């Protein structure tokens, strides 16, 4: 009997959690609304909540506004702003910290047989509010993901890889961490969609634990109504 891919995606992180108790499990949930202005411009509004398995369960939450612009076939530019609340529960001074984050990216996609590939280059700047000389938290992010189209199957698998580089693209000195993920996305009724993803995040040094993340995203798409032509 075949087991649905969505069920497997729930089981994988659970198995990893019990087999590697020294590592950290997190859950990321997202609700988003996409407003399609036209064939070239989209606006995205989303809210995220991230929880963890050890210590205080709350980790962070944020609201994000993003716009993307299709400049050529399979080439997209994007800009975004994120307002973030993050809990610091380590060290002598603990509490909620507020951040603003800005990012810009360029994304290129292409198809090969049943595969769809996308490459994204993103630069982001994260600024802590109400603090003098905040820590530099700027990153370049390089991401490659792919989706395989299975005929007559709506749970097409997706797999991806992403690396984080501090300040400038220098693999030898500034490489900080990477993520790999496996997931799927399927469409629901009335322009709604749900995606489920297992993510493993690994740091270059052993100062931070490896993260095993279950990410669930719900999205609703709104299309701008076409104006009816009137006959004069």
Of 198, 175, 222, 214, nearest to 53 (Cα)?
Answer: 214
Give the Cα separation of 118 and 74 in Å (integer).
9
Q: Which two tokens stand for residue 15?
A: 């198995």
User: Is 228 a domain residue?
Assistant: no
Q: Which residue in 199, 105, 108 sits closest to 160, CA to CA?
A: 199
In a domain, 231, yes or no: no
In a domain, 185, yes or no: yes
Owning domain of residue 35: 5-223
Lowest mean pLDDT among 7-21, 114-128, 177-191: 7-21
| Mean of pLDDT values over 26-51 | 94
Instruction: Flag whether 9 is in a domain.
Output: yes
Q: Is residue 139 in some structural domain? A: yes
pLDDT of residue 208: 80
| pTM score of the predicted model | 0.82
In a domain, 45, yes or no: yes
Total count of domains within the chain? 1
61 occurs within a structural domain: yes
Residue 119 lies in a domain: yes
User: Any idea which residue has 């580089």 for tokens?
Assistant: 165
Predicted confidence band of residue 218 (pLDDT cuts 50, 70, 90)? very high
The pLDDT value recorded for residue 19 is 44
Predicted confidence (pLDDT) at residue 10 exceeds the cutoff of 70: no
Main-chain dihedrals φ then ψ at residue 226, nearest 5 degrees: -75, 135
Q: With H, G, I as helix, E, B as strand and everything else as coil, classify residue 200.
A: strand
* Whole-number average pLDDT of the chain: 84
Q: Is 185 helix (H, G, I), strand (E, B) or coil?
A: strand
* Tokens at 172, concatenated: 């030898």
Parallel, antiparallel or unpaired: strands 41-52 and 157-166? unpaired
pLDDT value of position 95: 84
pLDDT at 118: 96
pLDDT: which is higher, 3 or 226 = 226
Whether the pLDDT of residue 2 is over 60: the answer is no
Residue 20 has a pLDDT of: 47
pLDDT, residue 15, reads 47
* 198 vs 227, higher pLDDT: 198
Q: What is the CATH number of the domain that holds 130?
A: 2.40.160.40
């Amino acid at each position: 009997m075949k087991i649905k891919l969505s069920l497997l995606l729930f089981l994988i992180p659970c198995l990893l959690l019990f087999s590697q108790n020294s590592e950290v499990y997190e859950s990321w949930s997202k609700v988003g609304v996409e407003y399609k202005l036209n064939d070239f411009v989209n606006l995205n509004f989303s809210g995220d909540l991230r929880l963890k398995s050890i210590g205080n369960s709350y980790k962070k939450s944020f609201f994000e506004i993003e716009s993307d612009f299709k400049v050529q076939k399979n080439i997209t530019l994007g800009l975004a702003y994120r307002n973030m609340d993050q809990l610091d529960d380590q060290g002598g001074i603990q509490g909620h910290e507020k951040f603003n984050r800005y990012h810009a990216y360029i994304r290129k996609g292409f198809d090969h047989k049943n595969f769809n590939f996308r490459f994204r280059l993103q630069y982001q700047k994260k600024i802590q509010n109400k603090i003098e000389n905040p820590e530099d938290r700027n990153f370049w992010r390089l991401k490659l993901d792919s989706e395989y189209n299975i005929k007559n199957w709506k749970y097409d698998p997706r797999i991806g890889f992403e690396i984080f580089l501090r300040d400038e693209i220098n693999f030898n000195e500034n490489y900080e961490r990477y993520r790999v993920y496996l997931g799927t996305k399927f469409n629901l009724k009335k322009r709604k969609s749900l995606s489920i993803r297992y993510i493993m995040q690994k740091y270059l040094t052993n100062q931070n634990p490896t993260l095993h993340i279950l990410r669930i995203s719900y999205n609703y798409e709104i299309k701008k109504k076409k104006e009816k032509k009137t006959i004069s």
